[in-house]
A and B are shown apart, each in its own frame.
Chain A
Amino acid sequence: METTTAVAPKPVVAPPPVATQPDAAPKIIARDVNVHYGDKHALKNVTLDIPEKAVMAFIGPSGCGKSTFLRCINRMNDTVASAKVSGLIQIDDQDIYDPSLDVVQLRARVGMVFQKPNPFPKSIYENVAYGPRIHGLSRNKAELDQIVEDSLKKASLWNEVKDRLNDTGTGLSGGQQQRLCIARAIAVSPEIILMDEPCSALDPIATARVEELIEEIRRNYTIVIVTHSMQQAARVSQRVAFFHLGVLVETGRTEQIFQSPHDKRTQDYITGRFG
């Protein structure tokens, strides 16, 4: 199809311009984070810095704890009754597991996009307006319209849906649904967007559109993405963290991890020897 040519994958080692300011203050810092699901020790002593306004990719084989760690960052693990989180996670020097912190406020700052597109069974407009409505971000209808339009534009979905904003969001294609979910997350102006394998349910063309989108919005947001595809990690991220069996094995700049990993396990994984 013609569209594929427009979004051909970038070379694996293209050094992204914004990517490498290793000395910039990290947006998120995690120290000795442990997660237990009942008896299962899912995440072991993870210590990691996540830089601001860049894309960080978590890679690793299934069940390695990367999604678990991602869900710690906006405390989505709170909804799992058996999950127990210990250790320190700070966003902008603020402990997010501090009992006095309001989880609802935190999640407004840290948006999330899920593995399977999960638009609400409402109209496209209402999907995007959902966050602004509950957080009271607009004073009148005109402002809300503007937020919806801006968010859909940022999610590069506006041109496809501007004439049918009242159609139901579940009627869109899988890729459009996922971009709608990204627009929904953007609409509350978060600082951080967490993406949990956002392309695993999409076809290659839709995947390319979402990756393009990530590339566009990373200037304004700190993005953490969990992915199974190493090509995707190489294409969209500036930094990579490799998890294995609940342990953070190695982290570093994307090109460094893919070209000269320090750890043998990383080497084996990225060359396809396991996982």
Chain B
Amino acid sequence: MTLIYILGMLLVAAGAYVAGRQKSSSFAVAGGGLARLHSLPSYHGFYVALAAVAPMLVWLIFWLLTAHRVVDAQAIAALPANLAPTDGLTYGARLREINQAAAGVRLEELQPGIAAAGEALNTWRTIADWALLIVGAALALLGFAWASRQLSPEFRARNGVERWVKVLLVACACVAILTTVGIVFSVLFETLRFFSKVPWYEFLFGTQWSPQTAIRADQVGSSGAFGAVPLFAGTTLIMLIAMLVAGPVGLFSAIYMAEYASPRVRSIAKPVLEVLAGVPTVVFGFFAALTVAPFIRSTGEYFGFNVASESALAAGLVMGVMIIPFVSSLSDDVINAVPQSLRDGSYGMGATKSETIKRVVLPAALPGIVSAFMLAISRAVGETMIVVMAAGLAGNLTFNPLEAVTTVTVQIKTLLVGDQEFDSAKTLSAFALGFVLFFFTLALNFIALRIVQRYREQYD
């Protein structure tokens, strides 16, 4: 039904457009040419079409949000008193039964009340569908009539369309913002539930991570310890190693591509480097676990170090390679955006190429380079697969890169995989970790923004 409605909307839009255009063209014919009109006929058409479609769209959204609730409520109301649900759980169960009855599925012998309610459901569904169509058509007609009456040679349809465009853009921006807010709140509520089971100070400052809770009452040795400090430490360690690789390598290759490479080399090297960004992280994980980690282990043992077979170093190095393209590609773009006149000014003073880059180009490109780094760090912090495969699951509190560590994202993944009650502290702690991760990246972005504002060298 919604599909038909949307098709109808398109038809209404096309029809209204043609009608508006026609009417406006008739002004032009009667009044001596297009020049007499304030707006071109096509703007009149757009204006009328928007006025007809916009209320239809609003009604559709409203209908989608409310109609099914009304229909369900009516179906439940049709149940006899002895079957009426008493709490949320039975409400859902009854609704499923009614839905099955309505769809004609006969798994078992139905209670007569349910069958009746199923019929009621079907009736109300039909009513709701017709309400959608009829009200929608009425709204479209009203909008069309309202806009159509306004049309005249002097009518400023062009400015009117401009306002509609603005509304559209604002609406799109709102979708993005509201989604983010929604995500934050959905995580926030679960986090609060977790903190009602485990005190927040224990979570934030505890140094023991052992998220085993008892599933059955008679299990032993699984009291659970939710001190997340080892996870934060592991995340920070791996992020630092990754940035030590990706920062210099990415930035320097960006400088090479932007300043030194000939256009031909650049046109080949840049896409090749960007291929790195397209490699699935699982493949990087193989590489880390099967090639890099054993190599580090054997090299370390040759020099007499005790290296774990899964080490933070292996995961960090490979992750660093993975995020090189994020640093290099963005930095390359911002370095290219620095005006040539600044370089000329510096060369004209007798500066060499590297002096010019160091003293003029990079400071001018700093804001963009910092945001490239921020993006890379966000990727490193959020990356899961490589760490799962190469760094392990052991929640060691250490800053020794040769030991196995674990990160926040890896633990979130581990906590949510497998059989668990959804309201156990173990599962809920995943949300708390996610929330902390979210705040960590937010804080990082905030700090970077401040740094950039403070030190930016703005060119016009």
CB <8 Å contact, A116 and B459: no
Among residues of B, the one whose C-beta sits closest to the C-beta of A171 is: B458
Q: Which of A19-27, A128-136, A243-251 contacts B (4 or more CB under 8 A)?
A: A128-136
Among B343, B344, B347, B348, chain A packs the most CB atoms within 10 A around the CB of: B348
Quick check: A118 and B342 within 8 Å, CB to CB? yes
Bound complex: CA A134 to CA B355 (Å): 8
**Would you give the shortest CB distance from B352 to chain A, in whole angstroms?**
6
Instruction: State which size class the interface on A falls in.
Output: 20 to 34
Write the nearest CB–CB distance from B299 to chain A, whole angstroms.
42
Task: Point out the residue from A106, A121, A184 that lies within 8 Å of B364, measured CB to CB.
Answer: A121
Q: Tell me which residues from 80 to 121 in chain A have a Cβ below 8 Å from any Cβ of chain B.
A: 81, 104-108, 111-112, 114, 116, 118-121
Pairwise interchain contact B355-A114, C-beta atoms closer than 8 A: no
B31 within 8 A of A: no
State A131–B351 Cα separation when bound (angstroms).
8
Residues of B contacting A104 with CB < 8 Å? 350-352
- By a CB distance below 8 angstroms, the chain B residues around A105 are 350
B459 & A107 in contact (Cβ 8 Å cutoff): no
Residue of B nearest to A112 (CB): B348
CB distance from A183 to the nearest CB of B (A): 12
Over the window 328-348 of chain B, the binary record of Cβ atoms lying under 8 Å from chain A Cβ atoms (1 yes, 0 no) is: 000000000001011111111
Q: Using A121-B364, A134-B351, A188-B349 as known contacts, say yes or no to A76 and B457 having CB atoms under 8 A apart.
A: no
A120 engages B345 (CB within 8 Å):
yes
When the two chains form the complex, which single residue of B262, B346, B352, B355 contacts A120, counting CB atoms closer than 8 Å? Answer: B346
Least CB distance, B187 to chain A, in whole angstroms: 41
Q: How far is the CB of B34 from chain A (nearest CB, A)?
A: 39
By a CB distance below 8 angstroms, the chain B residues around A122 are 363, 457
A122 to B349, CA, bound (A): 15
Q: Which residues of B contact A121 (CB under 8 A)?
A: 342, 363-364, 457-459
Task: Pick the residue among B344, B349, B363 that contacts A131 (CB under 8 A).
Answer: B349
Known: A118-B342, A122-B363, A134-B359. A76 touches B348 (CB 8 A): yes
Give the contacting residue for B345; candidates A74, A135, A181, A188; CB below 8 A. Answer: A181
Whole-angstrom distance between the Cβ of A178 and the nearest chain B Cβ? 12
CB of B154 within 8 A of chain A?
A: no
B360 at the interface (CB under 8 A from A): yes
- Cβ B344 vs Cβ A185 within 8 A: no
When the two chains form the complex, which single residue of B346, B360, B457 contacts A168, counting CB atoms closer than 8 Å? B457
Establish whether residues B349 and A185, one from each chain, have CB atoms under 8 Å apart when the complex forms. yes
Q: How far is the CA of A120 from the CA of B364 in the complex (A)?
A: 8
Q: Give which listed residue, A76, A135, A168, contacts B458 with CB less than 8 A.
A: A168
Please pick, from A114, A134, A170, the residue contacting B459 in the complex, using a CB distance under 8 A. Answer: A170
Give Cα A112 to B347, complex, Å: 9
* Contact residues of B between 349 and 370, Cβ < 8 Å to A: 349-352, 355, 359-360, 363-364
Does B218 sit at the interface, judged by CB under 8 A?
no
**Of the residues A76, A108, A134, A170, contact of B344 by C-beta under 8 Å:** A76
Enumerate chain B residues within 8 angstroms of A112, measured Cβ to Cβ.
Answer: 344, 348
Asked if B87 is at the interface (CB within 8 A of a chain A CB), the reply is no
Chain A positions 36-50 with a Cβ under 8 Å from a chain B Cβ: none
Cβ of A79 within 8 Å of any chain B Cβ, yes or no, is: yes
Minimum CB–CB distance for A98 against chain B, Å: 17
Distance in Å from the Cβ of A90 to the closest Cβ of chain B? 19
B460 interfacial by beta-carbon distance below 8 Å = yes
Partner of A79 from the list B342, B347, B360, B458 (CB cut-off 8 Å) is B347
Expressed in whole angstroms, the Cα–Cα distance for A120 and B365 within the complex equals 12
Q: How far is the CA of A130 from the CA of B345 in the complex (A)?
A: 11
Given contacts A121-B364, A134-B359, contact A111 B342 (CB under 8 A): no
Nearest CB in chain B: distance from A195 CB, A: 11
A135 and B457 alpha carbons, distance in the complex (Å): 23
Give me the 3 closest cross-chain CB pairs, A-B, nearest first. A121-B457, A108-B350, A112-B348
5 new A-B contacts, CB < 8 A, other than A107-B347, A118-B345, A134-B355, are A76-B348, A116-B341, A121-B459, A131-B349, A168-B458
- 29 examples of A-B residue contacts, CB within 8 angstroms: A74-B348, A76-B344, A79-B343, A104-B350, A104-B351, A106-B350, A108-B349, A111-B349, A112-B344, A112-B348, A114-B341, A114-B344, A114-B345, A116-B341, A118-B341, A118-B342, A118-B345, A120-B359, A120-B360, A121-B364, A121-B457, A122-B363, A130-B346, A134-B359, A168-B457, A170-B459, A181-B345, A184-B345, A185-B348
Measured CB to CB, the residues of B under 8 A from A are 262, 339, 341-352, 355, 359-360, 363-364, 457-460
